[in-house]
Amino acid sequence: MHFLDNVRKKLAVLVFKAVGHGGPGRCAQTVTINCGSDEVDIFWRDPEKLSQVFGNVATVRSPESDVFVWMLSTGADETQTWRTRLHSSDRELRFVADGAERADSDRSKHTAVVVGYRPAPDDLGTEVTVEAATPFPDFITNAVLFKVLYRARALLQTGEVPTLSHNPSAREGAH
C-alpha cells in the first residue's frame, strides 16, 4: 500500500471521528457552465451523473423519482448512507435529509445540498451554485464542492470527466 493511501485513510477516519464533535457548517461554490439551465436541471436529477462527478467520494442511486440514496466512502472499506428527498422549485434543487430513515436524525436533519442555477451574465451559459450544510469541517466540504462542480462543468461541456486513469503513471482509484 502506498504511503499517501495510508495518509488518506487515516485522515478520513480522523474527519469522521471529528464529525460528532462539530456543528453543521454551510459552504458554497459557484461556477459558470457553458450550457442551458434545462441541461443543468436534468444533470443534477440523474443519479448516474452525480455518481460520476462525485467519483470516489460518493455513489448515488435513486430508488424513487424524488428519493436519492448517497453512499459516502469513509475509507477503510466503510460507507455511510444518506437518504434524501429532492425538493425542486424554480431554478433550485434541494436534496434534504430524510430524517425518518436514520436513528441519529437529529444530526442529519440539518444536512442538505442545494443546487441553484440562473443565466450567466453576457449569455455565457448558466451560473451554478452548490451549497451544502454538513457536519464536516468547512475545508473538507469546500474541497468536495469545488471538485464536484469542476467535474460537473467538464462533463456538461465536453461529455467526459477529467481523469488520469489512462495515464501510464496513474494509480489505482485515480479519478
Q: Would you say 159 and 166 are in contact if contact means Cβ atoms under 8 Å apart?
A: no
Structural domains in the chain? 24-49+86-158 (3.30.530.20)
Instruction: Express each pLDDT in 129-143 by its tens digit.
Output: 999 987 778 888 899
Which amino acid is it at 137? Answer: P
Instruction: Express each pLDDT in 41-78 by its tens digit.
Output: 999 999 999 999 998 888 999 999 899 999 987 767 77
Nearest-angstrom CA–CA distance, 159 and 173 = 20
Mean pLDDT check: name the lowest of 43-52, 84-93, 134-143, 152-161.
134-143
Eight-class DSSP state of 104: T
- The 3-class SS string of 61-90 reads EEEECCEEEEEEEEECCEEEEEEEEEEEEC
Q: What is the mean pLDDT of residues 111-120?
A: 92
Which amino acid is it at 155? Answer: L
pTM of whole model > 0.75? no
Nearest to 98 by CA among 51, 125, 64, 131: 64
